């Protein structure tokens, strides 16, 4: 008989996470002369972003393994969407949650985390997300809390390989993906999706979208551009060129990313700046691959967490 390790069943009362269905995958074409892009509407997840997937996956796994129990604590460093997703998942599972974030993040994010019962600790703006990561490690050790460590935890990419990727394969015409396009924050999305499509036999090419401004340092310390939050350079331990054969990096000006996001909003997609970045890069990828290519990208989060930012209050607007 194969020995079984102890496994704690997930909490059930009032918990809706297990009942969540797939988010839609829809064809989007902003320009009548341009290509059609298959876009996964991740802003329809419960907390409003694709980070719900990794939050749920990592916390549920830790719970089953006995690393979390009722009343336990989760500590994570994140400038936004992952902290919001973890706050919601923790509320559903009866856990305490502390987000460590750099000063300067939007008030909408802080208010949302606190509304779910989470705590927010801010580190100096100049220390950026690296400083938040260091402080989160300190708190996790001091409090014996569970630390998801999204920038290095392979379960981040695994959530997209076994969950998001399989949804897309069941939704895209013919079950065939020729390209996956995504910005890189933790790297989990593009790595996990590429693995899912490649393992399914798709002739998939990975494209990474990089927002660039040439303006030097910015509010999140490691971002390519301060105008597209969450897309950062040099932090991920999951994103490695060697794991993404044929990788193509596409530079997209932050102005194009912002304008594209606004155009998507005017079409009725309530998205943030990273969706504009992803879509603009996906259009370029489709042009390179030709009209028969099925190009997939994600709309990662909702516009409500950007109400106080340039996205919805453009500079010089009346």
Contact 65, 87 (CB under 8 A): no
**Backbone phi and psi for residue 51, each to the nearest 5 degrees, phi listed first:** -70, -15
The DSSP bridge pattern shows strands 37-41 and 25-28 to be: antiparallel
Reply yes or no on whether 51 is catalytic.
yes
pTM, to two decimals: 0.91
- CB hemisphere CA count around 191 (13 angstroms): 22
The whole-number pLDDT of residue 110 equals 95
Sequence-distant (6+) residues with CB within 8 A of 273 are 211, 227, 228, 229, 257, 258, 261, 306, 311
Tell me which of 40, 51, 205, 225 is the catalytic residue: 51
3-state secondary structure (DSSP) of residue 27: strand
Tell me which of 90, 226, 274, 275 is the catalytic residue: 274
Which residue numbers in the chain have pLDDT < 50?
A: 214-225, 231, 318
Contact 33, 283 (CB under 8 A): no
Reply yes or no on whether 225 is catalytic.
no
**Backbone phi and psi for residue 41, each to the nearest 5 degrees, phi listed first:** -85, 75
Contact 246, 206 (CB under 8 A): yes
The whole-number pLDDT of residue 193 equals 98
Give the DSSP H or E segment for 278: helix 273-289
The whole-number pLDDT of residue 20 equals 85
Torsion 213-51-96-144 (CA) sign: negative
Burial class of residue 245 in the structure, from the number of CB atoms within 10 Å of its CB (0-12 exposed, 13-18 middle, 19+ buried): exposed
């Amino acid at each position: 008989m194969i020995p079984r390790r102890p496994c704690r069943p997930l909490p059930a009362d009032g918990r809706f996470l297990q009942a969540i269905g797939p988010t839609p995958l829809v064809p989007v074409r902003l320009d009548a002369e341009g290509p059609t892009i298959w876009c996964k509407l991740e802003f329809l997840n419960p907390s409003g972003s694709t980070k719900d997937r990794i939050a749920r996956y990592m916390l549920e796994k830790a719970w089953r393994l006995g690393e979390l129990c009722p009343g336990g604590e989760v500590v994570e460093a994140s400038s936004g969407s992952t902290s919001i997703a973890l706050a919601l998942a923790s509320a559903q599972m009866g856990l305490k949650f502390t987000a460590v974030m750099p000063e300067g993040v939007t008030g909408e994010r802080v208010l949302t985390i606190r509304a779910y019962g989470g705590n927010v600790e801010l580190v100096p703006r100049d220390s950026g997300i690296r400083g938040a990561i260091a402080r989160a490690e300190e708190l996790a050790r001091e409090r014996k809390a569970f630390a998801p460590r999204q920038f290095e935890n392979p379960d981040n990419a695994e959530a997209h390989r076994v969950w998001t990727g399989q949804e897309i394969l069941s939704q895209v015409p013919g079950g065939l993906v020729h390209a996956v396009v995504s910005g890189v924050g933790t790297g989990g999305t593009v790595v996990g999706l590429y693995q899912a499509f490649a393992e399914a036999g798709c002739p998939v090419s990975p494209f990474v979208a990089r927002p660039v401004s040439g303006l030097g340092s910015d509010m999140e310390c490691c971002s390519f551009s301060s105008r597209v939050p969450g897309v950062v350079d040099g932090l991920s331990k999951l994103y490695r060129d060697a794991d993404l054969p044929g990788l193509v990096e596409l530079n997209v000006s932050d102005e194009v990313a912002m304008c594209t996001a606004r155009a998507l909003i005017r079409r009725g997609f309530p998205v943030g700046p990273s969706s504009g970045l992803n879509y603009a890069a996906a259009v370029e990828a489709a042009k390179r691959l030709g009209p028969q290519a099925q190009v997939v990208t994600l709309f990662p989060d909702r516009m409500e967490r950007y109400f106080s930012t340039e996205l919805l209050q453009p500079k010089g607007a009346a």
